Structure 1
Amino acid sequence: MLDISSEELTGANDQLRAEAARQGEALRSLQASLGRLAMPSASAAGADVTDDLLGLTHALEQLVQQRESARELTEQILDQLPIPVFLKDRQGRFVRCNRQFEQFVQRPRAQIEGFTIDDIVPRTWAGLTHEEDERAWRSGRMVTSERRLAQRDPPMDVVVNRVVIRSGGEPYLLGFSIDVSEQRAARDAMQHAVESAQAASRAKSEFLANMSHEIRTPMNGILGMTELVLESQLDPQQRDDLALVKGSADALLTIIDDILDFSKIEAGKLEIEDVPFDLRALVQDTVRSLSLPARRKGLALECELPPQLPPMMKGDPGRLRQVLINLLGNAIKFTSEGAVTLGVAMRPTVAQRCEVEFTVRDTGIGIAPDKQKLIFDAFSQVDGSTTRQYGGTGLGLTICRRLVILMQGDIAVSSEPGSGSVFRFSVPLGRVAGAVPEARGALPAPVTDAVASAPPVPAPPAHKAGRLHILLAEDNPVNQRLALRLLEKMGHRVTLADNGVDALEHALHGAVDLVLMDVQMPGLDGLAATRILRQWEATAAAGGHVPVVAMTARAMQGDRERCLEAGMDDYLSKPIDSARLREVVARFHGRVAGAVLDWRGALLRLDGDRELLLELAALFIGDGPQLLAALDQALAAGEREASQRAVHSLQGVLVNFGAQRAIACTERLAASLHEGAPGALAPGLTHALAHELAAELQDVMAALGEQLGGA
């Protein structure tokens, strides 16, 4: 950097001003003498002329001396500057330079002034200098260029500044250089550090993904086979022992999930969705999923919902459920008697969004005041001693806080030791266009474990005539046995393939109804096999669509998206839960049968609430054409992001009705939009899929209309 103090510049300026004043006085004296010589008076004597001549000579000598003194002063000032400075004429000849410039080009001043750059430096350097000089001459403004002098030892990085000035009516090019080697080295070091950190982050993410895969694969067998044994005839002691095994395995997976989620959040790879969902159903399902551990501890698990809860909201249901499960799970863990209550409250609406506040209250051990500020920090626990009673990674609340912040909300805790804790968090959720508050009346009292323990609608039995032919592509023997047992128990016929090549062959020619495809397989992985299958189906001679559901132990951000982009229809992460497997297979069972809706499955997800399902159907019939029109407009305008949002919105609503054919269209369209090149959308497949989706939506709305007509 240029290191010249303001005092030095002021002093040099004062010297130049004083020297200019002295030269001005000498010039005025010289002009007076010349004037008397040019117009002598008639009475002037010869002696007077002689005196004028002597005065003129003396004035000229003073002027020369002063000019020489000014030149020396200028040279001294330039030589004291800590940077190289040069002055060129229009022909490129060096007129002046300072001592730093001599050192810079490693030549004495006598070999610089009067010469051009071609006489001083190598040809490559000279050529670049000519180009930079010419830019300055043409622009008339300060021109800055960077140069790395690799021939120096060590190499030098310089910034050269050039500007055109004028003196005595002649133009000159003034230039000066600044050594920025240290700054460049610091910048390069910083860039290297950033790249190293990014590489380390990628390596960590890949390690965690591989670790997750390696742990989940055997855990899939442990959990699945334990669940199967629990469904058999056991004495109470055996059942309790196996329940303990399953609980321990679930706890281990929770730890793995916490670590993976924390890694994704820290790496900034976790995205928040904004899709329609049923908030009431989400809350009820979440409470129900935690009812068993609450009942085992003798706790009352209560859920308080407001009477005027909108039937559909927009937000990220998956992340919202994750926060609720974490907070409720903590409350149950730290409460030995009493109750755990989840409350939901609606705040005033702003535009099309409203604040929804969730409150989790417990009657547990409470949190000391000095610990309440620490519990949201990573790896922080209220009791970190070796004698602590409660386990955990110390990441659960950290993840909750980060997720709430990502959803543009806030979270806080209030607690008193021995009297329980209250965790509150609020997030802004959008209102779905056309949705109206439900009018089923207020709940007369908190739903004390009623939501959690309501018996589910039984799944329809798989009849032999309607059973599916399922291709199971899995190379792990334990997972093979588990999946075979589960699927056969559901009444389906299963063909096994233990590598990708065989799986593709069966999918192409085996007349299968559904493929459960492991992603990592020898020979040909599941993603590649699915891409080939979809390419084959796209040919005119083939046609049709074989549903493919990914099964993978990888659970990192983007894995589901990669599966859908490859042409898969759904995604199951290992260890595979039997209920989740049954749900997925049931959805595709309805799709294979040609059903437009899975009305029974939709009722099952809403706890048999037919009135609510009919209300959702009426809303979709009213909003569906608008959602489709928004998609058509975005596609016609070539707006990729708007098209993706429109597809996402449609998919989020269709899930409520189990409209699998239409959902499959949205997923294929979403994958097509994601795979396209940046910029304007290309026609062809994307618009063909949009046309197919429009036809499917007409069938969905017609089927929903029939349900409403028969209500």
Structure 2
Amino acid sequence: MSIFNLKTWVHYYVSLLKRLGALRFSLILAVAIICADSVLQVFLAHYFDEPLDIVDVARSFILGGLITPWAVYFLTVVVGDLEEAREVLDHTVNKLQVIVKNDQQKTIALESEIIERQNSQLQVEQSAILLRSFLDTSPDLFFHRDLDGNFVGCNKSMELLIGKTEKQLIGANLFEVFPEGYANEANLRDQRVKDTLQEQIQEHWMHYPNGRKAYFEVRVLPLFNSLKEFVGIIGFGRDITEYKKNQDILEKASKEKTTFISTISHELRTPLNGIVGLSRMLLDEKLTPQQVQYLKTIHISAITLGNIFNDIVDLDKLDRRRFDLVREKVELQDFLSDLQSLSYIQTQQKGLQLEFIQTGAFPHVIETDATRLRQVLWNIISNAVKFTEQGSITIRCRYEPGEINQLSFEVEDSGIGIPNDQLDKIFAMYYQVKGNANVIGTGIGLAISSQIVKMLGGKLSVESEPDVGSTFRFSIPVQVNQDKALDEPSLPSIKPLDILLVEDIELNILVARALLEKLGHHVDCAMDGAQALQKVSEHSYQLILMDIQLPDMDGFEITQKLRQIYGGGLPPIVALTANVFSDKEYFIERGMDDALSKPLGVDALNKVINKQFLLQDTLPEIPQHPVLLAEKVSDSLFDEEMLTDLLEFIPSDVMLDNIALFEKLMPDYLQILDSNMIAKDKEGIVNESHKIKGAAGSIGLKRIQKLAQQVQSPDLPAWWDNIDDWVTLMKSNYQQDIDDLKIWVTEHKS
């Protein structure tokens, strides 16, 4: 420590004052000042060589005595202030230390709270991620909408169903997302939730973007916040298509079982009535006692068996049945003779008069389902005999040739008749005329007969007056053998054309394009009506091949729009159709210039092109009768003629690639077809089976094409009853047919 450090001496001086006190410090300070002054006087006297005067020494004492009190007072005040300041400072320091300590404790607590909050937030985030993952991996639908009906969120399953991401969906309302029909139903359901604040459950058919339909059970609930305020709607949807499918299968199995029992009992009762009648007639003959006993046993057994059949039907009634028509060649005169004989036996049993009248020149052979026709007539005649106690039964048969050949029947009786208020009910299943004591049976005969006549192409009707009699009548179209049409001679070929192919099935496009380009034509394609209209506006084509069934509009609508826009400045428009039973005139009447069947054939295509582009006087005479677009599909697996033609123009490797593409597409086609069948969506079934038919036909799978043709033809008799069998056959056969076709193509490589 330096002796010249003033600050040190000051601290030492103040410390000494505090230790000694003011009085003692004053005495010591006075002595120190006097001594210091005396020493200074002695030094100065000696230094200047002057004598030391007592007065100078006294002056030192006086000076020390005067200065010391003031100096001590000043220092005391300064020290006191400093001490007070120190105490204040110490107190302040202590308070600051307390504050710092408290702040440290608060900081520790705050840090702990922050960490706790961070952990809680992390747990919330992890829970949210877990919940989101759960919702996104769930096969069930989830959605959240606000009170205005706008989407707030959804899961992945909902995104797949709608075909939009959650980001695209947020803010959209029901009518912007769903078809109008479903949107209206959902809007009403949501309104019930808002009104009642209760869960609502509905079942809906919903459509995926690829066309597949699924049956969902949708549960919609009110959503409340932490303050228990109603803030929106949440919903969950479970796919119960398999449940619906199984339910339909069970119902169908039950109905088919009942139908089988009902049909068998009715079918067997017809010959059974013959046994009863003949056995009764034989009992009137002269027979031995043993023969009489045998006949009585036969007679009673037949009656008992008939009653058993009636009981079976009564126990297992059904509101629909299933029949398959089997058309065959029928010798008409033999059929009518048998009908007359059976009628005579029945009328003779009750002593009734029979009139059997034939009008017109009957053909020798017709084509119809003779068994079903006989069943209808036998049923009507049996009813006429049953409800006629006396009088006559008149049966009239009439044949009317024409564009559509008609075979007509009337059965008139003089029986009890039917009240007017029940005439429109007698063709209902199980209905029996009220107030008739003669009614025996189940009431299915006329219902079945009416439906058979409808399947045959006619309508069963009745006129009746109580106590006068009834007349049942119907007419059915029949086919009579006709000479085959002469084959048209081949026509010369024409120069290559610029062709627009309007077709929506990729496989059909591949096959048709390959064939047309091999023939030298240039081909441009449009996959829907909008593309077709645009391409025609941008390019001049020499020929338009127009598919009929397209995604946005049918071929007739496109043709009509083109003719409205361009008038007579259009090239020939030729319809492409997979309907093997269509008449060309049908397409021409609706605006087409001609028609071709799919898949395209070289000869048919060349004939149409020559017909449209060569002068009419160079063409051979065209037959006046309607020309079918294609022959009826045979039962063979492949269209070998078409495949042989294709292999002349298309490499076998390309053909095999086309087959592989069909094999890849078929499972998706069938899945969508199944969903439409479960939903009983006729339009969806027709559209999807049309795709299958077109795709199968383009690679020559004739059997699959034929089955798909049947599935897409709801006008066929008993279509809905048979469609499951057709689809099942398609599913079970298509893979084997594909494998066989691959082998066939490989073996027939050029």
What's the TM-score once normalised by structure 1's chain length?
0.36
Question: Is the radius of gyration larger for structure 1 or structure 2?
Answer: 2
What's the TM-score once normalised by structure 2's chain length?
0.34
Q: Which has the higher contact order (CA 8 A, sep 6+)?
A: 1
